[in-house]
Every structure is written in structure tokens, then in C-alpha cells.
């Protein structure tokens, strides 16, 4: 039996705020007095166009998106974009691209891109005094002739975060922001393309948000791009070239409305950093928990750690689950423990988990 009150710390599909769930429950039976379910709203109807336009408006306002950028919603997760980005951005398979390797997801993106173009792989992690660090951007060995540079500011699996913003002259920067989108203030103008799957901070799985600069929409002019993933078509048809996943869009709309109500991104960023600081403090002050990432490069959305005695992992997961803290298991590729703190996780959930972790450490260290 679980505690009545539980907190879901899953890396994905992440927690949805209670007011949003409540609204969904209501709209499932009758959306906005239409007498039909929100799931039945046709994407060509005025009702749905309203959801689309209001979603874009929220995004523009929250992220302060410049006018020379378009918003696209594309089928599938961020992983789909690992192939779709090179397909849209290259002119031939002999084109060169720069890919930064900083962990699990950026490495997968590299292996996918290699199918379509020449990839200059740039490893940016190193270890100093037993701590993982990231080379500063001006040390990244970027080639002169690459079409774009791809990197992942927050490695969701490893818990590694690159706070520095790109400033490369004339280089198109593509960023996989899946686990930090809308969790902080971000200067969009530093990027050519930002993409993020929606199941972490902005709703449900199966959809990816793209924010793309106008001059990058129509680079590959050959007709080899699958039409449904062609950025030019997605822009032209307002992301509805084929029937879109309307329910996911609708949930994203509610999430953005909720986020706006929280007071915008500078406020949310501050809370998010407070939340992660509380937990890193518990980790650093104990002999039981270990995080070997240099503090400057620690993720504030995905906190990874191990316990000194590996046999205690199972017990930690079992006890935390019984206490109502769900999904704390690390990604299967790295093991250990992972706490994901997206916007929806309230401060009280973090404080309660911190207390649990402190008590656990006094018992077992």
C-alpha cells in the first residue's frame, strides 16, 4: 500500500500538475460547452485552431521568442529529430557537421546523424580530481566548414548540465533542450534551432516542440525529405500537414497556461534551482550519497547519485517508494538513483524527499 500522497519524480513521463489533470478530466466529457470531448475536436475546426494559436502565444510570451523564429510541433519524440534534423539541414551526405558529446543523449544523436552526413565528434567531458567537468565552449574544436553544431545542454540520463550559452560567430547552433525547456529563462537568439520532446516539462509523450530561425526552414531543397517531417511543410501547414496529435497539443496548452500562472520563467527558474540545491546539499553532507559531477556542471532538473554500498540501492528504492516518492531509479544505462525535478514538482515534495534521504542516510551510513 502506498501513502495517500505521492510525488512522482520520473524523468519521463513526468508529473502533471493537479489543476491541469482536473481540467483534463472535465474537458474529456465536454470541452468548452461544445458537448463533445476535447479528444473529438477536429483539427480543422475553429475550436482547435484556437488551441493552436493560444499555445503559440503562450510559448512566444514565456520564452520571449523573436519574430524571426517559427514554432513547429512535430510527431514523435526528440529521438525522431536526431534523424530529421540532418535530413532537413544537409544538402548532401558529404556535408560536415559538428556534434558535441557530453553524455547519453548527445552520443545517441551522433550515431544517428552519422547515417546522413559527416560528423565531427567533439568530446567535451573530462575528469579532474575525480570530478566530471565540461570544457568551456571556447575550447570546443569546431570545424570551419560544418553546416551546424549540435549539443545537448542538459544530459537527462547523466545529470550533466551546460549553463554557458553558445556564442559562435556564423555557426548555426542546434540544441536538444528536452529536459530543460521552459525550466529557465533562455535567450532564443543564441540558437538556430531548439527542440524538446513534450513529456518532460510540457505535457505528454509523442510530440516535439521546435523553435526554428526563418533562414533554416528550407535548406535541403531536394525532394528526399519525408513530407510529414519536412520543416518547410510543417511551417506552411501550421504543423498540421497530416492529422496532428490534437490531445497532446491540448495538454501542452494547459501546461503553458499553468506555467504562465506561476509567474513566468524567471520565477520558475529560481524555484527550480532552490529545489535542486536542497537535494545536492543533502547529498554533499552525507557519507552515503555520491555525485561525482563538478558542482558547476550539475543538472538542476536531473539529479543523479549512487550510494556507497551498492547493495543499498534496492533498499533505497523500496523504502522511498513506500514513503510515496516514486520513480527514483536511475536510467538503465547508468544505474544508480535519479531524481527528476521538472516545473510541476512542488517545493514541498522536494523538502519531504530531502527529509527522507537524510533519515535514510543516518540509518545506513
Ligand X SMILES: *Cc1c(COP(=O)(O)O)cnc(C)c1O
Of 90, 119, 132, 152, the residue at the interface with ligand X (CB under 6 A) is: 152
- Pick between residue 197 and residue 327 the one whose CB is nearest to ligand X: 197
Instruction: Name the phi and psi angles at 70, rounded to 5.
Output: -110, 155
Q: Does 74 bind ligand X (CB under 6 A)?
A: no
- Pick between residue 17 and residue 103 the one whose CB is nearest to ligand X: 103
Instruction: Find the binding residues for ligand X in span 11-30 (CB under 6 A).
Output: 12
Smallest separation, CB 360 to ligand X (Å): 27
Name which of 324, 12, 48, 323 is nearest 157 in CA terms: 12
Smallest separation, CB 223 to ligand X (Å): 26
The Cα-based distances of 48 to 37, 59, 239, 328 in angstroms read 12, 17, 13, 37
Smallest separation, CB 105 to ligand X (Å): 4
Of 55, 197, 343, 344, the residue at the interface with ligand X (CB under 6 A) is: 197
Instruction: Name the phi and psi angles at 323, rounded to 5.
Output: -80, 0
Q: Does 331 bind ligand X (CB under 6 A)?
A: no
Of 179, 220, 301, 320, the residue at the interface with ligand X (CB under 6 A) is: 179
- Pick between residue 321 and residue 331 the one whose CB is nearest to ligand X: 331
Q: Does 156 bind ligand X (CB under 6 A)?
A: yes
Q: Does 301 bind ligand X (CB under 6 A)?
A: no
Q: Are 99 and 113 in contact (CB under 8 A)?
A: yes
Of 178, 299, 304, 327, the residue at the interface with ligand X (CB under 6 A) is: 178
Q: Give first-to-last CA distance, the chain, whole Å.
A: 27
Quickly tell me which residue has 514523435 as its cell. 76
- Pick between residue 158 and residue 269 the one whose CB is nearest to ligand X: 158
- The residue count for binding ligand X (CB under 6 A) is 12
Q: Does 78 bind ligand X (CB under 6 A)?
A: yes
Q: In the stretch 79-98, what mask flags binding to ligand X with x, by CB under 6 A?
A: x-------------------
- Pick between residue 97 and residue 178 the one whose CB is nearest to ligand X: 178
Q: Does 73 bind ligand X (CB under 6 A)?
A: no
Q: What's the chain's Rg over C-alpha atoms?
A: 21
Q: Collect all residues with Cβ–Cβ distance below 8 Å to 331 and sequence separation of at least 6.
A: 11, 104, 156, 157, 338
Q: What distance in Å separates the CA atoms of residue 74 and residue 250, rounded to the nearest whole number?
A: 14
Catalytic positions are 105, 176, 200
- Pick between residue 109 and residue 235 the one whose CB is nearest to ligand X: 109
Smallest separation, CB 326 to ligand X (Å): 18
Contacts 24+ apart (CB under 8 A), 273-280: 273/300, 274/347, 275/300, 275/341, 275/345, 275/347, 275/350, 276/300, 276/301, 276/303, 276/341, 278/350, 278/351, 278/354, 279/303, 279/339, 279/341, 279/350, 279/353, 279/354, 279/357
By beta carbon distance, the residue nearest ligand X is: 77
Of 75, 105, 148, 151, the residue at the interface with ligand X (CB under 6 A) is: 105
Q: Which listed range, 17-25, 73-81, 89-97, 263-271, lies at the site for ligand X (CB under 6 A)? A: 73-81
Three-class DSSP category at 232: helix
Q: Collect all residues with Cβ–Cβ distance below 8 Å to 201 and sequence separation of at least 6.
A: 14, 179, 180, 181, 182, 183, 255, 342, 343, 344
Binding site for ligand X (CB under 6 A): 12, 77-79, 105, 152, 156, 176, 178-179, 197, 205
Amino acid at each position: 500500500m502506498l501513502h495517500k500522497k505521492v510525488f512522482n519524480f520520473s524523468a519521463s513521463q513526468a508529473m502533471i500538475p493537479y489543476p491541469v489533470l482536473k481540467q483534463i478530466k472535465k474537458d474529456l466529457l465536454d470541452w468548452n460547452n461544445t458537448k463533445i470531448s476535447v479528444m473529438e475536436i477536429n483539427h480543422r475546426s475553429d475550436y482547435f485552431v484556437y488551441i493552436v494559436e493560444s499555445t503559440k502565444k503562450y510559448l512566444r510570451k514565456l520564452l520571449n521568442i523573436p519574430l524571426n523564429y517559427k514554432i513547429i510541433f512535430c510527431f514523435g519524440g526528440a529521438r525522431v529529430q536526431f534523424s530529421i534534423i540532418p535530413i532537413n539541414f544537409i544538402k548532401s551526405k558529404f556535408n560536415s557537421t559538428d556534434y558535441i558529446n557530453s553524455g547519453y543523449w548527445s552520443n545517441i544523436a551522433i550515431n544517428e546523424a552519422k547515417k546522413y552526413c559527416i560528423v565531427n565528434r567533439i568530446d567535451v567531458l573530462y575528469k579532474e580530481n575525480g570530478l566530471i567537468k565540461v570544457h568551456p565552449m571556447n575550447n570546443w574544436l569546431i570545424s570551419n566548414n560544418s553546416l551546424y553544431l549540435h549539443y545537448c545542454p542538459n544530459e537527462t540520463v547523466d545529470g550533466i548540465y551546460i549553463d554557458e550559452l553558445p556564442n559562435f560567430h556564423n555557426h548555426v547552433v542546434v540544441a536538444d533542450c528536452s529536459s530543460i525547456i521552459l525550466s529557465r529563462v533562455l535567450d532564443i537568439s543564441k540558437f538556430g534551432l531548439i527542440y524538446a520532446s513534450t513529456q518532460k516539462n510540457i505535457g505528454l509523450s509523442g510530440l516535439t516542440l521546435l523553435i526554428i530561425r526563418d533562414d533554416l526552414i528550407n535548406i535541403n531543397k531536394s525532394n528526399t525529405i519525408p513530407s510529414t517531417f519536412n520543416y518547410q511543410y510543417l511551417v506552411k501547414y501550421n504543423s498540421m500537414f497530416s492529422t496532428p496529435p490534437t490531445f497532446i497539443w491540448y495538454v501542452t496548452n494547459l501546461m503553458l497556461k499553468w506555467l504562465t500562472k506561476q509567474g513566468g520563467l524567471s520565477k520558475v527558474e529560481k524555484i527550480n534551482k532552490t529545489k535542486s540545491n536542497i537535494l545536492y546539499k543533502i547529498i554533499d553532507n552525507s557519507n552515503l550519497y555520491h555525485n561525482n559531477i563538478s558542482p558547476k556542471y550539475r543538472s538542476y532538473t536531473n539529479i543523479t547519485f549512487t550510494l556507497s554500498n551498492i547493495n543499498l540501492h534496492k533498499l533505497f528504492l523500496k523504502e522511498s517508494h513506500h514513503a510515496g516518492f516514486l520513480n527514483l531509479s536511475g536510467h538503465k544505462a547508468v544505474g544508480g538513483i535519479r531524481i527528476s525535478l521538472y516545473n510541476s514538482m512542488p517545493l514541498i515534495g522536494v523538502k519531504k524527499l530531502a527529509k527522507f534521504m537524510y533519515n535514510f542516510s543516518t540509518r545506513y551510513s
